[in-house]
Amino acid sequence: MVTFNKVNRLIIKILWLMKVKILFVPLVFLLFVFNARSQEEEGGGRFQRLGISLSHANISSGLKDSENKWISLPAWGIDYDYWFNEKWGLGMHVDIIVEKFTVEENLGNDSALERSFPIAPAIMGLHKFGRHHTLMLGVGAEFAKEENLFLNRLGYEYGLEVSEKWEVGFSLNYDFRWNAYDSYIFGIGVSRVFR
């Protein structure tokens, strides 16, 4: 017999999958547009990069058993970057925390904020300095069933070329969610480069 709770869970899963599709449709469109432009303009240093990373989101204002505790949550990262040249690029970076959690809001009124499997896409400006170092700055939002939050993201990545087509990177991102909470995200990822 199908219960009301099972139907609710199924609806939530379907909505979550629809949200993921809505986020990645523009990304796939951009991939095809930039790929067509790259083929038209031979050379010029333009290239694309698609990566996936395993991360941990660390939140100092987490709540467990009504006590303020530092929490570390598993997360995935999916990144797409379009590099205009060897120094400057633009990307869409999506972080997905794969747990439910509670945090204390930054508003100073000791209110709790519930978050369920949030997805946080951000449009990032990228600047590479040196051979391995990249600074990132961006704007985005965090989507969860409870409420959506505006965020700014500041990041650093250290990348190592394994071959002409593959890179391994170590990243550190700081997400500032306006009037909500902050997090530090440490990750290690693998990227495929398309020249």
Q: Quote the CA–CA distance of 91 and 82 in Å, as a whole number.
A: 6
Looking at the domain that runs over 4-194, which CATH code has it been given?
2.40.160.20
- What is the widest separation between alpha-carbon atoms in the chain? 62
> pLDDT digit string (tens) for 13-47?
555 555 555 555 555 555 555 554 544 444 557 99
> pLDDT digit string (tens) for 44-69?
579 999 999 999 999 988 887 778 88
Q: Quote the CA–CA distance of 174 and 154 in Å, as a whole number.
A: 5
Distance from the Cα of residue 86 to its chain's centroid: 23
